[in-house]
A = this chain, B = another copy of it.
Amino acid sequence: MLHFWYVHSMLDHIRDKNALITMQKAGISKTQQRIAVLNILSKAATPLNISSIRQSLQSKTRINRVTIYRILSLFKMRGIIRDITSSGISYYELATRENPVHPHFNCLNCGKLSCLEPLTFSQAKHLFNTDENFSIEHIEINISGLCSYCRNAT
């Protein structure tokens, strides 16, 4: 039987490799800080906000607050990640083919952001009577309430 730590170090290794490939494709320098940020986002099951990212990073990599902002901003520009702002807080998630744009659910109790089933852009676009000639570039749908855990806990 494989050991826990072994499986994990193996996964970490794969992730590091993927991170390098991603940055290669994007044509940006492969720095330790960028790899670390990318790995944290690829490990995450839900979109993460800056403070979660900082916490996860500080234990492993020495990284400045400003650097995180700059890396996230660069990743966003290059289409590597997407940001979701729910209740005034920015969350980040990987933007891959396998992970298309989708609505999010923000628990008002625990604050966790979960991903909902995707709605295609055209489906969503169809909903809104935009006879006024707006050019739609982004549709953000955020739903809030209580997640199943918090709902049952109360």
List residues of chain A with CB under 8 Å of any chain B CB.
Answer: 85-90, 103, 105, 108, 116-117, 119, 127-130, 132-148, 151
Q: How far is the CB of A112 from chain B (nearest CB, A)?
A: 11
Instruction: Pick from A88, A133, A143, A144 the residue with the most CB of B within 10 Å.
Output: A143
Q: Is the CB of A148 within 8 A of B132?
A: yes
Q: Is the CB of A141 within 8 A of B144?
A: no
A117 to B128, CA, bound (A): 7
Q: Is the CB of B142 within 8 A of A146?
A: no
Q: Is the CB of B143 within 8 A of A136?
A: yes
Q: Which residues of B contact A87 (CB under 8 A)?
A: 85
Known: A85-B87, A88-B85, A140-B141. A134 touches B146 (CB 8 A): yes
Q: Which residues of B contact A117 (CB under 8 A)?
A: 128-129
